[in-house]
């Protein structure tokens, strides 16, 4: 797990994996709700042009997260599915934590999307414990 003593170095590393995590997560969710994932779906979701999505998808394909043929749908590889599931789980924990803290849902959803990539395993565990604790209360 390499405990980077330099905070900014870790933050930069977090950012370098952020796109892959958000994309595979989105692909999984779109497939789950529409049957197949297309470039337009991701463009709408992320609020970017379809060109940006196409280029990113091609990078992620080269990196082994997904596959796609010309004019075809976007499909996750085994690796892509693994990362998507891990990311979704972590996203969920962060979101539930913010909700448990009493933050409004729409704000919590926005904050979680950015925060999720910077939460260490230790912090994630504390978040989980906190949520579990609030469930027990009244």
Q: Is 66 left (phi over 0), alpha (psi -120 to 50) or beta?
A: beta
Cα dist from 83 to 10, 43, 62, 87, 103, whole Å = 19, 20, 16, 6, 27
76 close to 26: Cβ distance less than 8 angstroms: no
CA 112 to chain centre: 10
Rounded to the nearest whole angstrom, what is the least distance from the CB of residue 34 to a copy of itself in the complex? Answer: 18
Binding mask 82-121 for Mn ion (x = CB under 5 A): ---------x---------------------x--------
Among 22, 37, 65, 83, binds Mn ion (CB under 5 A): 22
The encoded tokens of residue 53 equal 């999505």
5 binds a copy of itself (CB under 8 A): yes
3 binds, among a copy of itself, Mn ion, DNA, none (CB under 5 to 8 A by kind): a copy of itself
87 is a site residue for DNA (CB under 7 A): no
For a copy of itself, the binding residues (CB under 8 A) are 3-11, 14-15, 22, 45-47, 98, 101-104, 106-115, 117-120, 122-123, 126-127, 130
């Amino acid at each position: 797990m390499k405990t980077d003593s330099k905070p900014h170095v870790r933050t930069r590393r977090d950012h370098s994996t952020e796109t892959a995590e958000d994309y595979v997560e989105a692909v999984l969710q779109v497939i789950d709700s529409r049957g197949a994932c297309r470039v337009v779906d991701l463009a709408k979701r992320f609020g970017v042009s379809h060109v940006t999505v196409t280029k990113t998808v091609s990078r992620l394909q080269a990196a082994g997260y997904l596959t796609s043929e010309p004019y075809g749908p976007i499909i996750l590889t085994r690796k892509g599915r693994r990362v998507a599931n891990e990311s979704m789980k972590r996203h969920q924990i962060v979101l539930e934590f913010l909700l448990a803290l009493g933050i409004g849902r729409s704000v919590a959803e926005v904050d979680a999307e950015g925060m999720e990539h910077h939460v260490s395993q230790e912090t994630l565990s504390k978040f989980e414990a906190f949520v579990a604790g609030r469930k027990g209360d009244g």
